[in-house]
Chains A and B, each alone.
Chain A
Amino acid sequence: MIPASGFSPLPVAVPLLGAGALAAIRRWASRAIADSIGIAFASVTLIFATLLLLHSLQGTSVYWFGNWHPRGAMVIGIGFVVGPIGAGLATLTALITLLSLIFSWRFIDSGGNHFQPLVLVFLGAMCGFVLTGDIFNLFVFFELMSTAAFALCGLKTEEPAPLQGSFNFAVTNTVAAFLVLTGIAFLYAATGALNMAQIGAAIGARHDSLVVFAFTLLTCGFFIKAAIVPFHLWLPDAHAVAPTPVCVLFSALMVELGLYAVVRIYFSIFEQALSPHASTLRFLLMSFGAITVVLGGTMCYAEHHLKRLLAFSTVCHVGLMLVIFSLQNSLAIAAMLAYLLAHALIKSELFFTSGIILHRLRSISERVLFRRGTGLRGTACLWFIGAAGLAGLPPFVSMIGEAGTSQAAKIAGVDGISWLFFFAGSITSAAVLRAGMHIFLGAGENPLTDRAAEVGEMPETTPENKKIFWYHFAPPLFCICGAIALTFLPGWQNVLRDSSSNFANQQAYIHTVYSTGSAASAQPEWNEEIPSAAMHGFFAFIFAIALAVTSVFRAKLPHYLRIGSFLERGFRPLRLMQSGHPGDYVLWLTIGLVVFGSVAALALVH
């Protein structure tokens, strides 16, 4: 057991202090000063998070605030559990936030310098969310993160669309917070504890209706944040209206953190209790995941509003991560985190590029942009490389996640997951390729469109300066280089695998929190699946190109080959589901909760 590092709370404290300072001087500070301060605080956060990660590689440490160490089995303080996975996610969060702030440097409309302090609050909340070991603390950071996100989403209040997007986002995610809080209240009623390790130890193997009810509420609450179908309806609306750097934070970080919370809670509290029904639970989670993949992918291809298209691709990929998690072994968690990392980098890159498109061409609708991007070679390269990354084409790091998943699926005895990878990779990549072919290559004629794309989006930057600078290209380039370099960087996979085996082990977690020491078990290899994963990625990309071609050149093809344009028209029931009405979204959310809850009640209680 290594001593807790004294700077454990700093990744939370530094950005919050920065936000306070920025909010205080907001009125008097010029844009350049506010941006510099924001970037400085994000950089310092990144440094502390990285130091924390390096420290945690020697072993997970627990930081008790005010030195309130546990007395026996009773936890009386609030603790941060700083493991490699939590610290790693905090580092990723700080890095992507820093890139977003660099991207918005004197460029994105900051709403009177409200943008920078809100982003710092968001950063601090996300760091706290991944580090905390206390379930009520998790709720508080969840709410802090959400509230900053609502405000960031509705930053452009000059138009009605951002109000709609952020209102729906706020209503659904606040309901999510109440579900989580109710779940926490039930856990407290059952165990009298709020520390996750203590709750887990107190629940033990008990799986009566109270425990299953709490599990349902917590899981569904975080599923709303993670945009799992049918809880996902807020996500495209919010992404379509948020400024580009905010979209990056939502898609690359916030949504994944929702899923991270589900995994964290499952493995620290419910693993032992629900293990007798592991196969039923796997079926339940995998069904939700697979439906999310299929629906997200289908809707992604049917969208012509670039940000909504990317938003649905996030839905699709988060569904895939849920499917990986449903395998419930430690290798699956390692694979899920590797995939999460890859997705965060690639999706950030694509959103940054969409921001450059919106800035240069003043529109975000595929049909309006048709043939208008033919001169933008650099932007086109970034866009197409991002498409290749979505498909998992080697050498992008997504294939390592897929390789780990194949190995984990073999251990769990589940077939067919590589088909889901193939579907998700190829259809989202095809949608991005199709948009790219229309915009940058000017291929085909008369692109299809849809209602949301016709509404479009007002440019978020000032029109007098259409010029683009190196620092707008630096963040997407950095993301691409990162996503490729990680594939060749040796060693991190093994670290991830070993730390996942501790993360996905309730007893190990409890031992860590109570500082009683734990033994790591030997882990299976996952490198042997990499060649086949690379092949899958390659074929997915080829298939994506073929699909995009059947869409773009539909006029030249016989009817039976127009698969792409058939998919592109979309399915009416799915479009109707995305009605834009907060009441409908809450209704779908209730339906999802009832379905999940009744299956859980029937199958998991005794």
Chain B
Amino acid sequence: MPHVLASLPYFVAGWLFFCGLYGLTTSRHLVHAVISLAVLQSSTYMLLLGIGYRTGGTAPVFVDISPGRLTVDPVVQALMLTDIVVEAVVVALLLAMVVKAYEKSGSVSPSDLRTLRG
């Protein structure tokens, strides 16, 4: 059943997306929240790779293959790499904030971080 397998990456992407959102919403630990964000992000990798996949396609390195050969889409892979770079920065920044928060308040719970509300 190739058509079921073909849509599997999209199901996985959707599943990861909701896992990430659920994790963020219910998180009681700042590191857990950051990791949930990373899980949410992996759904975009899955989606991009799923979109670019061609059945029977080879890797898009054109050094040793004939020009007419079917390859997977290199554009989405470039997008995904950019995405990884950008998001690594965000995760690093967030984790640095968590460290700072722990130093200042001795807690890693989002509820204890709340000084401003209303």
CB distance from A101 to the nearest CB of B (A): 23
Report A-chain residues with C-beta under 8 Å of the C-beta of B44. Answer: 178, 181-182, 185
A163 touches B100 (CB 8 A): yes
Determine whether A581 belongs to the interface, using a CB cutoff of 8 Å to chain B. Answer: yes
0/1 string, A236-258, CB within 8 A of B gives 1: 11001100000000000000000
Segment 55-100 of B: residues with Cβ below 8 Å from A: 75-76, 79, 82-83, 86-87, 89-90, 93-94, 97-98, 100
- Alpha-carbon distance A587/B110, docked complex (angstroms): 14
B116 touches A166 (CB 8 A): no
Cα–Cα, bound, A372→B21 (Å): 46
Interface centre among A189, A236, A570 (most CB of B within 10 A): A189
Chain A residues contacting B117 (CB-CB under 8 Å) are 451-452, 575, 578-580
Q: Are B97 and A163 in contact (CB under 8 A)?
A: yes
B48 engages A170 (CB within 8 Å): no
**In contact, A581 and B114 (Cβ under 8 angstroms):** yes
Contact B97 A167 (CB under 8 A): yes
In the bound complex, residues from chain B placing their C-beta under 8 Å from that of A578 are 117-118
Q: Given A164-B115, A580-B116, A590-B25, check contact A157 B100 (CB 8 Å).
A: yes
Q: Cα distance A188–B73 when bound, in Å?
A: 11
Could you tell me which residues of chain A, from 195 to 244, have a CB within 8 Å of some CB in chain B?
236-237, 240-241
Question: What residue of chain A has the Cβ atom nearest to residue B14's Cβ?
Answer: A182
Stretch at the interface among A84-92, A143-151, A427-435, A479-487: A143-151
- Residues of chain B with a CB closer than 8 A to A194's CB: 75
A-B contact count (CB 8 A): 139
Contact partners of B12 in chain A: CB under 8 A: none
Contact indicator per residue, chain A 287-316, by CB within 8 Å of chain B (1) or not (0):
000000000000000000000100000000
Contact A587/B25 with A147-B90, A160-B105, A189-B51 known, Cβ cut-off 8 Å? yes
Q: CA of A302 to CA of B4 in the docked complex: distance in angstroms? A: 54
Bound Cα distance A81, B75 (Å): 22
Query: Which A residues between 244 and 294 are near B, CB-CB below 8 angstroms?
Result: none
**Chain A contact residues: helix, strand, loop or mixed:** helix
A526 within 8 A of B: no
Contact of B113 among A160, A236, A450, A575 (CB under 8 A): A160
Name which residue of chain B comes closest to A144, CB basis. B86
B7-50 with Cβ < 8 A to chain A: 17, 21, 24-27, 30, 33, 37, 40-41, 43-44, 47-48
Query: For the complex, what is the distance from the CA of A578 to the CA of B114, rounded to whole Å?
Result: 11
Within 8 A of B (CB), among A548-588: 570, 575-576, 578-584, 586-587
Q: Could you tell me the distance in whole angstroms from the C-beta of B71 to the nearest C-beta in chain A?
A: 14
Beta-carbon contact of A182 and B82 below 8 Å: no
Are the CB atoms of A455 and B90 closer together than 8 Å? no
Chain B residues near A587: list those with CB within 8 A.
25
Is B82's CB under 8 angstroms from A171's CB?
A: no
Which single member of A170, A580, A582 contacts B115 (CB below 8 Å)?
A: A580
* Partner among A185, A240, A451, A581 whose Cβ is within 8 Å of the Cβ of B110: A581
For the complex formed, measure the closest distance between the CB of A65 and the CB atoms of chain B, giving whole angstroms: 15
Nearest CB of chain B from residue A579's CB, rounded to whole Å: 6
**A355 cross-chain contacts in B, Cβ below 8 A:** none
Q: Are B25 and A583 in contact (CB under 8 A)?
A: yes
Question: A185 to B116, Cβ gap below 8 A?
Answer: no
Give Cα A174–Cα B30 distance, bound, in whole angstroms: 15
Residues on B with C-beta less than 8 A from A144 are 86
Nearest B residue to A308 by beta-carbon distance? B116
- Point out the residues of chain A lying under 8 angstroms from B24, CB to CB: 171, 175, 582-583, 586
| Bound complex: CA A570 to CA B26 (Å) | 28
Interface size class of B (residues with CB under 8 A): 35 or more
**Which B residues touch A167, using CB under 8 A?**
30, 94, 97-98, 101, 110, 113
Q: A160-B101, A167-B30, A582-B110 given as contacts; is B118 within 8 A of A570 (CB)? A: yes
Instruction: Say yes or no: is A154 at the interface (Cβ < 8 Å to chain B).
Output: yes
SS class, residues of chain B in contact with chain A = helix
Report yes or no: A237 in contact with B113, Cβ–Cβ below 8 A.
Answer: no
Within the complex, the shortest CB–CB distance from B41 to chain A, in Å, comes to 6
A452 proximity list for chain B (CB < 8 A): 116-118
Q: Does A18 contact B (CB under 8 A)?
A: no
Complex contact B116–A182 (CB within 8 A): no
| CB-CB under 8 A for A163 and B25, given A237-B116, A580-B115 | no
Query: Least Cβ distance of B110 to chain A in Å?
Result: 5
Contact A147 B33 (CB under 8 A): no
**Smallest distance from the beta carbon of B2 to chain A beta carbons, Å?**
18
Are B27 and A161 in contact (CB-based, < 8 A)? no
Whether A181 and B83, one on each chain, are in contact in the complex, defined by CB atoms closer than 8 angstroms, is yes
Partner of A451, one of B30, B105, B118: B118
Contact at A150–B93, with CB atoms within 8 Å? Answer: yes
Chain A residues, CB < 8 A from B115 = 160-161, 164, 455, 580
With contacts A150-B90, A188-B76 taken as known, whether A178 is within 8 angstroms of B118 at the C-beta atoms is no
Is residue B104 within 8 Å, beta carbon to beta carbon, of the partner chain? Answer: yes
Which of B26, B47, B82, B118 touches A575 (beta carbons < 8 Å)? B118
Contacts of B104 in A (CB 8 A): 157-160, 163
Q: A170-B94, A189-B51, A570-B118 are in contact. Are A175 and B86 (CB under 8 A)?
A: no
C-alpha gap A587/B41 in the complex (Å): 17
- Which of chain A's residues have a CB closer than 8 A to the CB of B25? 583-584, 586-587, 590
Residues of chain A within 8 A (CB-CB) of B40 are: 175, 178
Looking across the interface, which residue of chain A has its beta carbon closest to that of B82? A140
B116–A581 CB distance below 8 A: no
Q: Does A165 touch B at the CB level, under 8 Å?
A: yes
A304 to chain B, nearest CB (A): 10
Q: A450 to chain B: closest CB distance in Å?
A: 5
Q: Please measure, in the bound complex, the distance between the C-alpha atom of A151 and the C-alpha atom of B96, giving whole angstroms.
A: 10
Instruction: State how many angstroms separate the Cβ of B63 from the closest Cβ of chain A.
Output: 21
6 more A-B residue pairs beyond the given contacts A175-B40, A182-B47, A185-B79, with a C-beta to C-beta distance below 8 A? A136-B79, A158-B104, A181-B44, A185-B51, A579-B117, A586-B25
Give 29 CB contacts A-B under 8 Å.
A140-B82, A147-B86, A147-B90, A150-B90, A154-B100, A157-B104, A159-B104, A163-B101, A165-B116, A167-B110, A171-B24, A174-B41, A174-B90, A174-B94, A175-B37, A177-B86, A182-B47, A185-B76, A189-B51, A236-B116, A237-B116, A450-B118, A451-B117, A452-B117, A570-B118, A578-B117, A582-B24, A583-B25, A586-B21
